[in-house]
A and B are shown apart, each in its own frame.
Chain A
Amino acid sequence: MTFEYAPAPESKSVVKIEKEYGHFINGKFVKGKKHFATINPATEEVLSQIANGDKGDIDKAVQAAQVAYTKVWSKLSGAERGKYLYRIARILQERAREFAVLETMDNGKPIRETRDIDIPLVSAHFFYHAGWADKLDYVGVGSSPKAHGVVGQIIPWNFPLLMLAWKVAPALAAGNTVVLKPAETTPLTALLFAQVCQQAELPAGVVNIVTGAGETGAALVNHPGVSKIAFTGSTEVGKSIARAIADTKKVATLELGGKGANIVFEDAAIDQAVEGIVNGIFFNQGHVCCAGSRLLVQENIADEVIKKLQRRMEKIRLGDPLDKNTDIGAINSKAQLEKIKELAASGSAEGGEVWSPACELPKNGFWFAPTIFTGVTQAHRIAREEIFGPVLSVLTFRTPQEAIEKANNTPFGLSAGIWSEKGSKVLWTAQQLRAGVIWANTFNKFDPASPFGGYKESGWGREGGRHGLAAYLKAVK
């Protein structure tokens, strides 16, 4: 007997998508000049036409943000700013299902994740930061700290609305105004968020959203009216931003790439470790900067762990992201799929042993089966480069010291995982790892109260918690 799950699709009826969207500037939607399509990566169906912002659009948005900053937002008390954020948090909770469905359609990630993780965390972020707005003296940058002014924010496509929340909530709580550019493949929830700002009666110009691709982002970074840049995306673009602002007074926080080591010791709770490995690399199709993309497993349990991992992977359900039972959805774009394929091919070419469960990929859309490579060494490209897809590289180690050496042998330093039931070893390992976020006996957990960010080339600064908020404030000299 087999237990087949019949399709259980979430209804799309809660979502209304316009044929075309403009930019959200100064509290209103402004018609764009040129447009590009945003598609559903699971079906390749065109969802809407999105305005392609140019320098002029960015200029208008920055000007609106400057005026809102000087005339309105900087004059409001922290308590009043906080109340706007509370309003936004509540409206996001009320419209959670709508956001979840829209996010799944535009991004390709499973509804289970948008519904249970992304969107609840989004409102949690606004709720958390709302409470900070009137307590800025206690952030740790001295008393009566000042906002930077206009903050330019550029966010990626992997957690579109969640990354918006990570950026916008602390910026507003600290008293800044914002010009935000969502990723070109996933602009829809940001544009729906613009409607939430309207419903919350947020003063015009406090949040401005200009859609577009890399050039639009560059125009925002280079605009002289912007005092601070907050960027999440690739290390390559992060470096170019660092160069672009080198000769300016602008400051920046950067959340960039990673190649997280997930270390499984012989004394781990094996079944939970297997879950953690799966969650570490297959959560959000592996489109996660802090993914546990390098599994470091102690050699004396490697066979058992890999066998259990493979058996577990056979239960992963890949398919329609709107199906409530889907675990892995679509790859966000054709370009990303090509990149994953290219790196996976290099893994095979360099002698890694590839394995995927039997898994039927839908005909339309962009898909990649959950994949593991065993027999990987530090010298393989797939052990060094960020794949940003559902591809796990498995390496082994013999001693804790060797695990640390391998884990730290990378220019990245964002995340790492530790699996052991021995408390002293967990703490030792956590101390030795050169990474900003370390999950012990868990993985890929996020919370607005918890600082997130990387060492080394994984970025500058933290997001979340007191540390994250501090980056949106400056000490009074």
Chain B
Amino acid sequence: MSRIDVKKTYKLYINGAFPRSESGRVYEVTNAKGAFIANPALASRKDLRDSVVAARGAFGKWSGSTAYLRGQIIYRIAEMLEGRREQFEAELKSTGDKTKITEAIDLIVWYAGWTDKLAALDGVTNPVSGPFYNFTTPEAMGVVGVVSKPTFLEFIDSLMAVIASGNTTVIVAPGALAIPAMSFAEVLATSDVPAGVINILTGKVDELAPWLASHMDIDGIDITGVKKQGELKVAAAENLKRVHSFTKLKNPARILAFMEAKTVWHTVGI
């Protein structure tokens, strides 16, 4: 008789821990043929609220760490993922996700290299007319909410674009994306990413996105994974969240979209 598999329970990833949804709800994910894969957690607005608290708490340290360190940590994510390629290949295959795991790993490496070049890309000293030293630097915006499109590659792109600069995030991985996304949370938990920097919620876009858009302690949202965006934008206007969505992967503009330009003037004299 063959061995009985030990199956994984898919939970949420909030503040470095793996809680179940406070609502106690789950939903069924099946493969293309309709066979059961798992019952990931169906995250609620209260899970989202807790995630935002965690993300806000982690922001100071993550954005305040050196770009070099952030680059190292993101590269570490790639290393950890590389070591679990087979697991991800199997999961992606089972959920019908066309993402090549190697492509996702290489994409993470690409982002790891950006952390300490963003200032060179978008920073500038400004030749103002007067005795002042004046410079503009891009800096992290704060807490950014993300609603990912359904493939793992898109999930990685939207996530890395947001955290490379020093933002912390609450990312919604809808539907079957829950499977690779929550395995990815295990990768994060073992790769030096501080707790709270990345919080992953699985469940339904329709249920979670409006709370993300209306949350007053979120600074920006990437709603690439949402088709009807009008109402979310109306809700986001309440605290003037920066709202973006992107068509192209591997796009530096996606990183810069969730950064703020800070301009500093200082007198020059003796």
Interface residues of A (CB under 8 A from B): 124, 140-141, 235, 238-240, 242-243, 245-247, 254, 256, 411, 426, 430, 434-442, 445, 447, 449-453, 455-457, 459-460, 462, 465-467, 475, 477
**Cβ contact within 8 Å between A455 and B264:** no
Tell me the nearest residue of chain A to B135, going by C-beta: A450
Q: A247-B230, A450-B126, A451-B261 are in contact. List 6 more A-B contacts (CB 8 A).
A: A439-B264, A440-B264, A441-B266, A449-B129, A459-B240, A475-B253
Contact with B240, one of A140, A256, A466 (Cβ below 8 angstroms): A256
Among A242, A256, A466, find the residue whose CB has the most chain B CB atoms closer than 10 A.
A242
Complexed CA–CA distance, A192 and B239 (Å): 37
Complexed CA–CA distance, A204 and B80 (Å): 62
**Cβ contact within 8 Å between B219 and A438:** no
Residues of A within 8 A of B206 (CB): none
What would be 21 A-B contacts, judged by CB atoms less than 8 Å apart? A243-B237, A245-B233, A246-B230, A246-B232, A254-B240, A411-B239, A434-B142, A436-B260, A438-B262, A438-B264, A440-B267, A441-B266, A445-B132, A447-B129, A450-B126, A450-B136, A451-B126, A455-B260, A465-B124, A465-B126, A475-B253
Contact with B238, one of A239, A245, A256, A438 (Cβ below 8 angstroms): A239
Complexed CA–CA distance, A441 and B232 (Å): 41
Given A124-B129, A447-B126, A436 contacting B261 (CB threshold 8 A): yes
Tell me the nearest residue of chain A to B230, going by C-beta: A247
What sequence of 0s and 1s flags, for each residue 108-150 of chain B, a beta carbon within 8 Å of any chain A beta carbon? 0000000000000110101111101010100001100000000
**B214-267 at interface with A (beta carbon < 8 Å):** 219, 229-234, 236-240, 242, 247, 253, 260-267
Complexed CA–CA distance, A449 and B247 (Å): 31
What sequence of 0s and 1s flags, for each residue 147-184 of chain B, a beta carbon within 8 Å of any chain A beta carbon? 00000000000000000000000000000000000000
Tell me the nearest residue of chain A to B256, going by C-beta: A140
Min CB distance, B191 to chain A, in Å?
27
Secondary structure dominating the interface of B: mixed
**Cβ contact within 8 Å between A467 and B261:** yes
Complexed CA–CA distance, A440 and B262 (Å): 13
**Cβ contact within 8 Å between A438 and B127:** no
**Cβ contact within 8 Å between B262 and A242:** no
Complexed CA–CA distance, A442 and B132 (Å): 9
Residues of A within 8 A of B136 (CB): 450-451, 465, 467
What sequence of 0s and 1s flags, for each residue 62-104 of chain B, a beta carbon within 8 Å of any chain A beta carbon? 0000000000000000000000000000000000000000000
Given A246-B233, A247-B230, A440 contacting B265 (CB threshold 8 A): yes
Residues of A within 8 A of B230 (CB): 246-247
Tell me the nearest residue of chain B to A269, going by C-beta: B267
**Cβ contact within 8 Å between B130 and A426:** no
Min CB distance, A457 to chain B, in Å?
5
Residues of A within 8 A of B132 (CB): 442, 445
Complexed CA–CA distance, A457 and B238 (Å): 9
Residues of A within 8 A of B242 (CB): 460
Given A438-B263, A440-B266, A239 contacting B240 (CB threshold 8 A): yes
Residues of B within 8 A of A140 (CB): 121-122
Residues of A within 8 A of B239 (CB): 411, 456-457
**B190-231 at interface with A (beta carbon < 8 Å):** 219, 229-231
Min CB distance, B125 to chain A, in Å?
10
**Cβ contact within 8 Å between B262 and A442:** no
Min CB distance, A396 to chain B, in Å?
24
Min CB distance, A122 to chain B, in Å?
13
Residues of B within 8 A of A435 (CB): 262
Given A456-B219, A460-B240, A430 contacting B124 (CB threshold 8 A): no
Complexed CA–CA distance, A455 and B267 (Å): 23
**Cβ contact within 8 Å between B240 and A238:** yes
Complexed CA–CA distance, A441 and B130 (Å): 14
**Cβ contact within 8 Å between B240 and A456:** yes
Min CB distance, B227 to chain A, in Å?
13
Residues of A within 8 A of B264 (CB): 430, 438-440
**Cβ contact within 8 Å between B267 and A441:** yes
Residues of A within 8 A of B126 (CB): 447, 449-451, 465
**Cβ contact within 8 Å between B263 and A457:** no
Min CB distance, A360 to chain B, in Å?
35
Tell me the nearest residue of chain B to A467, going by C-beta: B261
Tell me the nearest residue of chain A to B141, going by C-beta: A455
**Cβ contact within 8 Å between A246 and B240:** no
**Cβ contact within 8 Å between B266 and A246:** no
Complexed CA–CA distance, A467 and B121 (Å): 12
Residues of B within 8 A of A456 (CB): 219, 239-240
Residues of A within 8 A of B232 (CB): 246
Tell me the nearest residue of chain B to A415, going by C-beta: B263
Tell me the nearest residue of chain B to A458, going by C-beta: B240
Residues of B within 8 A of A245 (CB): 233
Residues of A within 8 A of B260 (CB): 436, 455
Min CB distance, A403 to chain B, in Å?
16
Complexed CA–CA distance, A438 and B261 (Å): 11
8 interchain residue pairs of minimum CB distance: A247-B230, A246-B233, A242-B237, A447-B128, A440-B266, A449-B126, A246-B234, A450-B126
